Homo-oligomer: A and B are copies of this chain.
Amino acid sequence: MMTSAQNKYDLDTPCLVLDLDVLDLNLQKMQAAARRAGKTLRPHAKTHKCSSLARKQIEAGACGVCAAKVSEAEALVKAGITGILITGPVATPKKITRLVDMLAATPSLITVVDHRDSIDLLDAALRQRGMSMDVLLDVDIGLHRTGVRAANALDLADYILSRPALRLRGVQAYAGQVQHISSYEARKAASHKHLQEAVPVFRELKGVVDTCAIFSSSGTGTFDIDLTVPEVTELQVGSYACMDTEYLAIGSAEDSTQFAPFGPALRLLTTVVSRNQIGYVTVDAGLKSLYRDGGVPQVIGSGHSGMVYDWFGDEYGKVTCPGNGELPSIGTVLELVVSHCDPTINLFDRYYLTKGTEVVGVWPIDLRGCSQ
């Protein structure tokens, strides 16, 4: 942690800073929206990769957090986080051993399943240890990435119910493909259409299986849309906490030109290191510190409006300055909203926490690199 007051623009760069006031507002807004609709919030930790931020989400009212991979869940468990849902299929003997080891320490752990082969492996591993586990049936509602097709979902549910070590607790249905549709109305129509593919599956299961009570769904782009679906019981939204230009560019219910509900809590600081060209300078953040995905990062901050960032190789960025304005001098620190927060956060080991321009602490990005 910091030993004395430090200004964020004095931090060495490139680095990630997290504006605590914006973050708190984002967390409160999402939690309040879920509460008003009578839904549970289980935010996705794959975005922020940080157990300290996960704890803050839980303190704000979340029932736990989601993890994309077993190794992410392991890091969360190590930090004492409970209520973890693993949102991707755990499919190999090695991973299932890691999962079952974790379950012994954290009985609240839930995982999704989407295929007989991995179900057999999991059931056998659990029985060998005399254990049982909560699972959700992952239903593919159009992303076609993981999950069983809705038409085959009840068959696979029957199979899960026949496995002695598995407790079917409900379904997961994630429409990743609609999250960034620009028009709010088009996004709303698409999300409702796709969610309806999983609704009959969940209704049927809920009617006959006592333990079946969870319908986990949604993303930042459709949170308010999906909250109106009666069957949905919990949201697994991720990006809303940190935010990025990709999400800020879509229209919201309140404003068709930008995504109004959440602010850019996450920013990247980068410094001008070379200034020998006409019309632009070279900064110290490139592919390795700003993941090249989801459009371009946006330069913010007073005096820097109109400046445009573009990647300039692995280590550098090119910041073009508007008109015939003076170029920023060497050593000038620029503040950027990143284009795609998840993979960019995964490039760093810590967030610097800020209140205004003051650095007030550090959170380790302790799930960084947990891709297994």
Contacts and interface: CB of A to CB of B under 8 A. Distances in A.
A8 B313 CA distance: 32
A283 to B, nearest CB: 10
Contacts of A312: 145
A282 B146 contact: yes
Interface string A265-280: 0000001111111000
A30 to B, nearest CB: 20
Contacts of A140: 276
A167 interface: no
A35 to B, nearest CB: 28
A315 B91 contact: no
A115 B276 contact: yes
Interface size class of A (residues with CB under 8 A): 35 or more
Q: From DSSP, what is the main secondary structure of chain A's interface residues?
A: loop
Interface string A125-152: 0000000000000001000111111001
Contacts of A273: 88-92, 118, 146
A210 interface: no
Given A91-B274, A115-B276, A145-B316, 8 more contacts: A89-B273, A91-B271, A115-B275, A117-B330, A118-B330, A146-B274, A288-B342, A292-B292
20 contacts: A10-B94, A12-B372, A14-B371, A15-B372, A69-B315, A88-B284, A91-B274, A91-B331, A92-B271, A92-B273, A115-B276, A117-B330, A117-B331, A118-B330, A146-B274, A146-B282, A146-B316, A284-B371, A288-B343, A291-B291
